[in-house]
Copies of this chain bind each other. A is one copy, B any other.
Amino acid sequence: MSRPSQPKLTATDHNGVSVIQSQAHAASSSLPAAVAGLQQVPQLVPANPSTGGGKALAPSKMKKPPADKDSEEYRQRRERNNLAVKKSRMRSKQKAMDTQQRVNELKEENERLEAKIKLLSKELSVLKDLFLEHAHNLADNVQPPAGAEGSSPAPNSTSTNGQ
């Protein structure tokens, strides 16, 4: 079912920034086409006040030039970053898959272990029963060694022990 009408709660107001995207770098690869068109917009570069006279010696907090889009260095950085991003995302995805796989492996392992436990438990149970039986037998005809014999009917009580 879909949400027919949602009273627009939380107008996800992100920053109200005008975004001007313009890209035109070489298509890395495998883009069907339809790369969203971008084009340069006449962005006005703020006239750099440059170092007029008063040079505030601010050790930090210096306004960053909006990164001139035309700058050669800018494009270079962008491209590098795009690459890094791609790489990072690939890694991320790979990791996710690996984790999923790990889950499957662990699940299998778990089943195996549980099966083994079941088996061992069974074996133990059997042995214990045998022991009990012997114990009963011994208790019934508790006859010191040497000439031990005679009748020993001893109705065997098949007591099933629990676990």
Contact = CB atoms under 8 A, between A and B. Distances in A.
A31 interface: yes
Contacts of A114: 113
B2 A72 contact: yes
A55 interface: no
Contacts of A30: 14-15
Given A38-B18, A117-B116, A120-B121, A24 B10 contact: yes
Contact of A124 (B33, B34, B127): B127
B36 A15 contact: yes
Q: Choose among A33, A38, A79, A100 the residue with the greatest number of B CB atoms under 10 Å from its CB.
A: A38
A31 to B, nearest CB: 5
